[in-house]
């Protein structure tokens, strides 16, 4: 394709003379690359040099004659006749003979020759393409409209009137087109073409797409060319697969496409999927990836994923030996970590199970920091395998397992460690370990959530009685309040915890409350109010469930409601209120719309489990929705501070407090709402601790700030 690149560059640069010189050189060659010739002719046909080039395109005919009869040779000749503008007699005769040989058996052949200009030979440009279209014109056949009408189905045709009637995808009602108009705008497509099937038999295509998802993608790529994930969605979602089922269907299909040898899957989510000219076997694909010399961690992930997805490739002994050689070669690298060496040894053991791999035992025995090695192993299956080897080989395995119990990140590994320790009769030591988890819930949040779920699943494990469940529920609520205040880094864990506790109409809460004492339930309700991720509705449900078991708790609910009412009003100035309203408007009209577009684009990229852009867009949506909801609720509680409502007899909202320290230095504090607070200007929120401490004081009273005592000298109205 070297010539094509040069031709294309000349067209881009509008260097017509260089293009013609290169064309002369190209046509004087001895061999012809059929695909390259087709691309060159299609490229120039779409360029502004199309008409000028028509006088020289027939220079390619000597090369074309060497090709013989095949579909690509037909495509080349058709393009030459589409481009030619000379209409020379010799070329006309050649075209006539070609058309006669190919289409002579067609009905109305003589009439067709007249229509395409091959009877009088005055203008036969495009005659082969037009003859092909005329032979395709039968009721029920499909065409594609290049002017934007989409796919059309031929409903009727008349050679007498030289006219046809069609129904198009993007235009309502039937449309009548003359043959001459059809020559300019229509391209014939087969009934098996993707667009024809989508327009003519959408239900059949949907069934086909559900039963053979990989095949429908192949058909799409073959007929429409390379397409990105977003473009594939545009062609299939709603039109073939219902939009509500698209995400699930595409995730399943994408995983199957990755295993197909005829489709090239892009590494970048925005790049297109392509149909390969020649199928590449799984072994060759891995070999090509290994030839790029990835770093060791990437190599381990690559080989593991490959062997997991294509285990049958190991039946190829040559490939198996080649892979063993690559892995053995990797063992000789410098600065090889224990985790990397162990994973490579596991691969070699799988490839040659009949051999005795004593090196694995030696590595396990010599571990200096087992938790570090386990954490650095990339493949979860190999983490479990390493732990099994530790259990088998090392005498101190119990100490190792106890040390790792809360440190490992994956629940299957925790399950294995926990099961082995209990099987070894270490229940008392496990109880001690659980006690440390209860005392410090914030240290290992995932572990606490894991064990609490096991407790509530009716498993026969330590602390599975009511007392143990109550203790873990208390620790669960404490952990939830800690994570809730720690920022967005723990958002996923908080969501997981909320989902667990609210599922099944708060089934977990019901089970815990059912056998808990009134004191325990009161403690749970108090802890729940400190978890800001719970909505008011959640808190009310907690109270209702508590009252079902202990009716006397209804008094506590009234107290909670009274506290809510006290905190209803949020004082603010008009300026502060407008600032918040502006923020609400910005979120609702600008940021939310932008985020919706981000989600749509990211969703189209597919494979949501590995789609960082999609997760990021969803996180932003959650943040925006949370902020919008919070600000809207606060605005509903807001009350503007008015000049006439401010009393300067005591310190309160809207009062400027002028005070003096023992050295005679004057300072002024202003009490306003949280939206007006500005520490640089000593404007305090009425909700702040200092504001609450000095509220109600009068002129002459004293108060302390940072161990310095201040005396109030004067109280002023903020608006005066």
CATH number of domain containing 574? 1.10.287.180
pLDDT confidence of residue 335: 86
Q: Is the pLDDT of residue 563 over 50?
A: no
User: Is residue 59 included in any domain, yes or no?
Assistant: no
Residues 336, 346 within the same domain: yes
pLDDT confidence of residue 115: 94
pLDDT confidence of residue 564: 46
Measured CA to CA, the distance from residue 577 to residue 572 in angstroms comes to: 6
Residues 623, 579 within the same domain: yes
pLDDT confidence of residue 559: 52
**pLDDT band at 562, cuts 50/70/90?**
very low
Which positions ≥6 away from 444 have C-beta within 8 Å? 406, 407, 437
Full residue range of the structural domain in which residue 418 is found: 300-425
Q: Look up residue 294 and give its two tokens.
A: 């990835």
Which positions ≥6 away from 49 have C-beta within 8 Å? 11, 16, 19
CATH number of domain containing 702? 3.10.50.30
Say if CB 184 and CB 178 are below 8 A apart: no
Share of the chain above pLDDT 90, in %: 58
Q: Is the pLDDT of residue 530 over 90?
A: no
Q: Is the pLDDT of residue 106 over 80?
A: yes
Exposed / middle / buried, residue 530 (Cβ in 10 Å: 0-12, 13-18, 19+): middle
Share of the chain above pLDDT 70, in %: 97
Long-range contacts of 707-711 (CB under 8 A, 24+ apart): 708/661, 708/662, 709/661, 709/662, 710/659, 710/660, 710/661, 710/667, 711/659, 711/660, 711/661
Q: Is the pLDDT of residue 367 over 90?
A: no
Residues 662, 619 within the same domain: no
User: Is residue 486 included in any domain, yes or no?
Assistant: yes
Average pLDDT, the chain: 89
What kind and span of H or E run contains 407?
none
User: Is residue 156 included in any domain, yes or no?
Assistant: no
Q: Is the pLDDT of residue 188 over 80?
A: yes
Residues 520, 634 within the same domain: no
Q: Answer with the one of 587, 611, 640 that is the final residue of a domain.
A: 640
The mean-pLDDT minimum among 15-29, 149-163, 269-283, 511-525 falls in: 269-283
Q: Is the pLDDT of residue 426 over 50?
A: yes
User: Is residue 136 included in any domain, yes or no?
Assistant: no
Residues 389, 437 within the same domain: no
User: Is residue 239 included in any domain, yes or no?
Assistant: yes
**pLDDT band at 488, cuts 50/70/90?**
confident
Residues 618, 699 within the same domain: no
Q: Is the pLDDT of residue 615 over 80?
A: no
Residues 471, 413 within the same domain: no
Q: Answer with the one of 425, 440, 463 that is the final residue of a domain.
A: 425
Q: Answer with the one of 405, 425, 445 that is the final residue of a domain.
A: 425
User: Is residue 461 included in any domain, yes or no?
Assistant: yes
**pLDDT band at 208, cuts 50/70/90?**
very high
Domain count for the chain:
5
Q: Which residue has the higher pLDDT, 29 or 331?
A: 331
Residues 605, 635 within the same domain: yes
Which positions ≥6 away from 39 have C-beta within 8 Å? 1, 4
pLDDT confidence of residue 226: 94
Residues 448, 465 within the same domain: yes
Q: Which residue has the higher pLDDT, 600 or 611?
A: 600
Residues 350, 404 within the same domain: yes
Q: Look up residue 396 and give its two tokens.
A: 């101190």
Name the β-bridge partners of 671.
684
Q: Is the pLDDT of residue 566 over 50?
A: no
User: Is residue 292 included in any domain, yes or no?
Assistant: no
Residues 603, 648 within the same domain: no
User: Is residue 94 included in any domain, yes or no?
Assistant: no
Residues 441, 555 within the same domain: yes
Whether pTM exceeds 0.85: no
Q: Is the pLDDT of residue 608 over 60?
A: no
């Amino acid at each position: 394709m070297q010539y094509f690149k040069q031709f294309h560059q000349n067209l881009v640069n509008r260097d017509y003379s260089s293009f013609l010189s290169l064309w002369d050189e190209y046509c004087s060659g001895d061999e012809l690359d059929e695909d390259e010739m087709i691309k060159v002719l299609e490229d120039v046909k779409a360029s502004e040099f199309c008409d000028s080039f028509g006088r020289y395109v027939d220079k390619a005919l000597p090369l074309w004659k060497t090709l013989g009869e095949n579909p690509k040779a037909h495509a080349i000749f058709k393009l030459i006749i589409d481009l030619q503008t000379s209409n020379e007699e010799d070329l006309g005769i050649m075209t006539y003979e070609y058309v006669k040989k190919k289409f002579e058996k067609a009905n109305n052949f003589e009439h067709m020759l007249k229509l395409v200009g091959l009877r009088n030979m005055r203008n036969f440009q495009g005659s082969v393409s037009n003859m092909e279209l005329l032979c395709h014109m039968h009721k029920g056949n499909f065409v594609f409209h290049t002017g934007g009408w989409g796919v059309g189905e031929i409903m009727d045709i008349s050679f007498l009137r030289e006219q046809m009637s069609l129904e198009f995808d993007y235009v309502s009602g039937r449309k009548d087109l003359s043959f001459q108009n059809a020559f300019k705008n229509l391209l014939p497509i087969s009934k098996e073409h993707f667009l024809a099937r989508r327009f003519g038999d959408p239900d059949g295509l949907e069934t086909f797409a559900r039963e053979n998802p990989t095949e429908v993608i192949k058909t799409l790529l073959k007929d429409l060319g390379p397409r990105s994930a977003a473009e594939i969605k545009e062609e299939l979602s709603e039109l073939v697969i219902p939009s509500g089922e698209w995400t699930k269907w595409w995730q399943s299909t994408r995983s199957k496409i990755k295993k197909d040898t005829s489709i090239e899957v892009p590494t970048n989510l925005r790049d297109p999927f392509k149909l390969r000219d020649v199928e590449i076997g799984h072994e060759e694909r891995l070999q090509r990836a290994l030839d790029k010399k990835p770093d060791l961690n990437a190599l381990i992930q690559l080989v593991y994923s490959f062997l997991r997805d294509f285990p049958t490739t190991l039946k190829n002994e040559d490939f198996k030996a080649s892979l063993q050689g690559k892995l053995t070669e990797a063992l000789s690298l410098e600065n090889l970590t224990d985790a990397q060496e162990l994973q490579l040894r596991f691969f070699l053991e799988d490839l040659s199970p009949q051999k005795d791999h004593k090196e694995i035992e030696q590595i396990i025995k010599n571990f200096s920091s087992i938790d570090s090695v386990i954490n650095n192993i990339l493949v979860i299956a190999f983490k479990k395998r390493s732990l099994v080897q530790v259990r088998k080989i090392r005498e101190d395995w119990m100490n190792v397992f106890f040390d790792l119990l809360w440190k490992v990140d994956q629940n299957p590994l925790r399950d294995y460690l926990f099961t082995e320790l209990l099987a070894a009769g270490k229940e008392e030591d496990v109880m001690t370990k659980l006690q440390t988890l209860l005392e410090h819930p914030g240290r290992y949040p995932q572990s606490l959530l894991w064990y609490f779920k096991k407790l509530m699943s009716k498993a026969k494990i330590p602390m599975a009685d009511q007392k143990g469940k109550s203790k873990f529920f208390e620790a669960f609520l404490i952990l939830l309040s800690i994570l809730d205040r720690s920022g967005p880094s723990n958002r996923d864990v908080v969501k997981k915890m909320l989902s667990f506790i609210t599922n099944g109409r708060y089934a977990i809460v019901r089970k815990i409350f059912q056998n808990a004492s009134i004191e325990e339930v009161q403690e749970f309700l108090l802890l729940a109010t400190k978890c800001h991720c719970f909505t008011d509705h959640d808190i009310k449900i907690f109270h209702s469930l508590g009252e079902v078991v202990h009716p006397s708790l209804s008094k506590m609910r009234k107290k909670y409601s009274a506290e809510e009412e006290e905190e209803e009003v949020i004082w603010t100035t008009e300026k502060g209120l407008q600032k918040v309203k502006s923020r609400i408007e910005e979120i609702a009209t600008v940021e939310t719309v932008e985020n919706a577009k981000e989600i749509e684009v990211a969703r189209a990229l597919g494979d949501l489990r590995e789609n960082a852009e999609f997760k990021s867009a969803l996180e932003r949506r959650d943040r925006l929705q949370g902020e919008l909801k919070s600000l809207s609720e606060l605005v509903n509680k807001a009350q503007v501070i008015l000049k006439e409502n401010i009393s300067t007899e005591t310190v309160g909202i809207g009062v400027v407090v002028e005070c003096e320290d023992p050295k005679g230095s004057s300072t002024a504090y202003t009490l306003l709402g949280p939206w007006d607070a500005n520490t640089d200007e000593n404007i305090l929120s009425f909700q702040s601790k200092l504001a609450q401490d000095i509220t109600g004081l009068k002129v002459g009273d004293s108060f302390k700030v940072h161990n310095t005592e201040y005396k109030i000298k004067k109280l002023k109205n903020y608006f005066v």
